[in-house]
A and B are shown apart, each in its own frame.
Chain A
Amino acid sequence: MSNIELIDDNNLKCRFAIFKNANLKLASGEVLKNFKLAFNTFGTLNENKSNAILICHALTGDQYVTGNNPITGKDGWWARMVGPDKPIDTNKFFVICSNVLGGCAGSTGPKEKNDSGQDIYGADFPSVTIQDMVNAQSKLLDALKIDQLCSVVGGSMGAMQALQWSIDFPDKIKSVIHIAGALKHSAQNIAFHEVGRQAIMNDLNWHKGNYASNNSIPERGLAVARMIAHITYLSEDAMHRKFGRRLQSRDIISFGFDADFQIESYLRHQGRSFVERFDANSYLYLTRAMDYFDHSESFKKTLEFINNSNEHLKYLVISFTSDWLFPTRENKEIVEILNSLSKNVSFLEIETDKGHDSFLLDEPDLDFAIKGFLESNYRNEYE
């Protein structure tokens, strides 16, 4: 008999949904007998349970979407977007955000103990996909007794999950906000991920993934992986604007390999601070999940022939002009398919030089689009 337990964790300032004997079948064919999801909710679920929004986090995000993140001591990763009187207004909506399966902020993943309760999964953790993450999230919704979400919102890997929701559970959602994503992870993106993974796996402290039992952490590899990835989140223009060739704490170049330039110092800082909050194995698993994401062949067919319960669905797809990781072209592929099938879709390309990370940064047009889309659709439906 499967059973589900919901508990509050006051130390981690989040909640847990613990699924026992759930036998969650993964895309790889493996089965997770037990699993748990760490999640947070904000705002109040209304009486007819019509105001719930699920926010899906990106590669290195977590359930601390807004409010204080006890792990970093800083604001949540989308605090500027989500909260009372924010674009996703928690005075109006009930916001749910869960750490993905395979993540490292409390949900079942390589950092957590396996079913024996003794050892840490490490590299024995089964491969997870975006589909598996979404499947686990749907179980969480069932546990929270929410039949239908008013919207699923996500950027980057979160956008992949939002799209996956519309494919796997169209009748459980009313709308999708897909920001800076794609139908598939491109060859270039896989290439960058592979370099990051090689950096981790070539760190002698990685110990084939079982570093926990060796009391070591592949910090250097993970930091390098983060530095590479961080470059892909920016744009050349933004990097030039923020750093140029300016020197860091010096007036002349050192003729050595110190961080002479501000950009070097910045990337080193990004790498260092990342290892304090993220697990190297989780990074391997989650980047792999993104690599495996590919609906380029199946999306149109699925919508056209297999799943017809998506007539009511409203899509909002947003891209950024300077995003070269998930460029407009790739976001638009989704829009083109939806338009060719006469689905209800809106698309907005926002002009900015901030690159892929734009969805996390101050972009007033993004705020306005999301707020307007959510609130006007909600009004049209219920008022």
Chain B
Amino acid sequence: MSMNKIQSIRKDWNLIESLIRDNSRVLDIGCGEGDLIQQLEKNISAKVHGIEKNQELALKAIARGLSVTHGDAEKDLSQYSNQSFDYVILSQTLQAMVEPKKILSELLRVGSKAIVSFPNFGHWKIRLQLLLKGKMPITEGLPYSWYDTPNIHFFTLKDFQNLCNEMNIVIENSIGLTSKGKQFPIDSSLLSANIITSEAIFLLSYKDFEPIKIKLSNKIFAKNSAIVN
């Protein structure tokens, strides 16, 4: 991993930390060696738990005294009770999940809020590579060849916003990071956000109320509610 990549992850983590209230219960999916949850435990007294698929990484986290379940979140999330965490974090992993949509709804079943970060496939560098070279793009955020990448679902900022809309998920906050690590608020009306965002971090929750669904105007209601919130 290059220094840049590590710095960008740290930046990502600090942003995630800024979205979480002190003393919260936090679940980190794909927690690795537990660096992020340890940081949250130390800095904001979070009560943390992690899930990690890789044995070596889970082992390292456990040996640090962190509470970590070694397993596959796509299978194991079901064991956690409804709303048993204040926040569930899915950092840089959604694109590697077999069923991203199912995971999203699971995040918000288990946690009252979800924090999801992902690399934006709509970034201009990626668009340009595909346009000019005609090959699958390889960038710092997405550094793998198409045949050996853990990332199996590529999507853009806009795709993600649309999915949230479709699932009646409220975007409480969204932050973009440019490839140089510059931070800015993603405004849904800003056309260029999808072009300049290299990595995106979303704070999500479900609506407190069930939207009224009228058969024909379903789509209009969904759109409006996103703006209202």
Interface membership of B65, Cβ < 8 A:
yes
Q: Are B65 and A348 in contact (CB under 8 A)?
A: no
7 contacts between A and B (CB under 8 A): A340-B80, A342-B81, A348-B62, A368-B59, A372-B62, A376-B65, A379-B65
Q: Are B80 and A316 in contact (CB under 8 A)?
A: no
Interface centre among B49, B55, B63 (most CB of A within 10 A): B63
Q: Are A377 and B59 in contact (CB under 8 A)?
A: no
Q: Are B67 and A345 in contact (CB under 8 A)?
A: yes
A300 to B58 CA separation, bound complex (whole angstroms): 25
Q: Are A341 and B58 in contact (CB under 8 A)?
A: no
- Closest beta carbon of chain A to B59's beta carbon, Å: 5
Between A and B, how many residue pairs show CB distances below 8 Å?
Answer: 64
Residues of chain B within 8 A of A335, CB atoms compared: 69, 79
What DSSP secondary structure best describes chain B's contact surface?
A: mixed
Q: Are A377 and B67 in contact (CB under 8 A)?
A: no
Contact indicator per residue, chain A 329-351, by CB within 8 Å of chain B (1) or not (0):
00010011001111011111111
Interface residues of A in 325-383 (CB under 8 A from B): 332, 335-336, 339-342, 344-351, 365, 368-369, 371-373, 376-377, 379-380
* Chain A interface residues toward B at CB < 8 A: 314, 316, 332, 335-336, 339-342, 344-351, 365, 368-369, 371-373, 376-377, 379-380
Interface membership of B68, Cβ < 8 A:
yes
Contact of A342 among B64, B70, B84 (CB under 8 A): B84
Q: Name B85's closest neighbour in chain A (CB-CB).
A: A342
Interface membership of B158, Cβ < 8 A:
no
Residues of chain B within 8 A of A341, CB atoms compared: 81
Residues of chain A within 8 A of B67, CB atoms compared: 314, 344-346
A379 to B62 CA separation, bound complex (whole angstroms): 14
Residues of chain B within 8 A of A365, CB atoms compared: 55, 59
What DSSP secondary structure best describes chain A's contact surface?
A: helix
A339 to B63 CA separation, bound complex (whole angstroms): 19
- Closest beta carbon of chain A to B70's beta carbon, Å: 5
A345 to B58 CA separation, bound complex (whole angstroms): 13
Residues of chain B within 8 A of A348, CB atoms compared: 55, 58-59, 62, 70
Contact of B62 among A332, A339, A340, A369 (CB under 8 A): A369
- Closest beta carbon of chain A to B15's beta carbon, Å: 26
Q: Are B71 and A347 in contact (CB under 8 A)?
A: yes
- Closest beta carbon of chain B to A142's beta carbon, Å: 29
Contact of B70 among A336, A349, A371, A372 (CB under 8 A): A349
Q: Are A339 and B64 in contact (CB under 8 A)?
A: no
Q: Name B64's closest neighbour in chain A (CB-CB).
A: A376
A342 to B67 CA separation, bound complex (whole angstroms): 11
Interface membership of B66, Cβ < 8 A:
yes
A370 to B79 CA separation, bound complex (whole angstroms): 25
Interface centre among A314, A339, A340 (most CB of B within 10 A): A339
